[in-house]
Amino acid sequence: KPEFWSVDPYARIYPISFGYKMPMTMLGSQVAQVLESKNAKFPAGSHVVAYTGWRDVAVVDPDAIYDTYGKGHSALPKVAPAFKLPEGVSRSLLLGTLGMPGNTAYFGLLELCNPKKGETVVVSGAAGAVGTLVGQIAKLKG
């Protein structure tokens, strides 16, 4: 049962690019609570991050290989356990700062770009989910 859905701009054009036919389920990730399970890794009551689109309920086999993009095997897992977060931290962050956008910003800037203190960092997509975080990380790093 979903608690949070991702609402990403790419999801508008993505289906057309891969030839999906309308109407279709909106693409996106969600943080959801497991209602029923036959898999010990995902007990009822636990939370998951799932790439199931905007669905009220989804039936997922976590051990299956899914063709997420409609073009062959995908690197995206269909479902993964949600990280246990400190008290008071919203699970919605698993779709943003603590999820794919946050990891992309952090590792993309610090490991791929590897800026030095005092250098100027220019982010062409600074209004997006990843770009806003890159700007904040760059500022924190000096």
Contact 2, 51 (CB under 8 A): no
DSSP 8-34: -THHHHHHHHTTPPSS-PPP--EEEE-
Enter the DSSP assignment of 83.
P
Q: Give the per-residue pLDDT at 72.
A: 53
Tens digit of each residue's pLDDT (9 = 90 or more) over 43-58: 999 999 988 888 898 8
Flag residues of the chain having pLDDT under 50: 75
**Inter-CA distances, 25 with 10, 11, 21, 28, Å:** 14, 11, 10, 9
Give the separation between CA 97 and CA 136, rounded to whole angstroms.
11
